[in-house]
Structure 1
Amino acid sequence: MTILLSDPRVSAVPVLDTGEPLVALPARLGPARALVRAGVAERLLHAATLLPPGVALRVVEGHRPLAGQRAIIERYSAELRALHPHLGEEELRTLTSRFVSPVEVAPHVAGAAVDLTLVDADGHERDLGTAIDATPEQSDGACYFDATGIGEAAAANRALLARTLGAAGFVNYPTEWWHWSYGDRYWALSVGAPAALYGPVDEAAAGAGEAAA
Structure 2
Amino acid sequence: MPVLLSDDRITRIPAIESGEPLVDLYGRGVLARDRQFVREGLADRLAIADSFLPTGVRLYVVEGLRDLAVQRRIYDDYRAELAELNPGIPDDEAHVLASRFVSPVGVAPHVAGAAVDLTLIGEHGPFDLGTPIDATPEQSNGACFFDAANISREARTNRALLADVLTAAGLVNYPTEWWHWSFGDRYWAFTEQQSHAIYGPVERPVLSGVPR
TM-score, scaled relative to structure 1: 0.93
Identity %: 58
Q: CA deviation at 1:131?
A: 0.2
Return the alpha-carbon distance in structure 2 between the equivalents of residues 19 and 170 of structure 1: 19
What residue in structure 2 maps to residue 211 of structure 1? Answer: none
Shift of 1:203: 1.5
Q: Which amino acid in structure 2 is aligned with residue 92 of structure 1?
A: A
Counterpart CA distance in 2 for 1:32 and 1:160 is 24
Q: Aligned equivalents of 1:91 and 1:150: distance in 2?
A: 28
1:120 is matched with 122
The equivalent residue for 1:133 is 134
Higher relative contact order (CA 8 A, sep 6+): 1
The match for 2:210 is: none
Whole-Å Cα distance in 1 between the matches of residues 84 and 33 of structure 2?
35
Gaps of 5+ in 2: 208-212
- Which residue of structure 2 lines up, in the alignment, with residue 60 of structure 1? 62
Larger mean CA deviation between 8-17 and 103-112 belongs to 8-17
**1:145-184 matched pairs, under 5 angstroms:** 145-184=146-185
Greater mean alpha carbon deviation, residues 12-21 or residues 130-139 = 12-21
Which segment is superposed worse, 21-30 or 189-198? 21-30
CA distance in 2, matches of 1:32, 1:187: 26
Q: Does the aligned pair in 2 maintain the 1:56–1:121 contact within 8 Å?
A: no
**Residue number in structure 2 paired with 1:76:** 78
- Does the aligned pair in 2 maintain the 1:48–1:57 contact within 8 Å? yes
Residue matched to 1:196: 197
Question: Residues 30 and 46 of structure 2 are in contact (CA less than 8 Å); yes or no, is this contact kept in structure 1?
Answer: no
> C-alpha distance in 1, partners of 2:44/2:175?
23
More divergent stretch after superposition (29-38 vs 145-154): 29-38
1:91 counterpart = 2:86: no
Shift of 1:31: 3.1
State the TM-score, normalizing by the size of structure 2. Answer: 0.94
What runs of 5+ residues in structure 1 fail to find an aligned partner?
209-213
RMSD between aligned alpha carbons? 1.4
Tell me the number of residue pairs that the alignment of Structure 1 and Structure 2 aligns. Answer: 206
Within 2, Cα distance between the matches of 1:83 and 1:6? 20
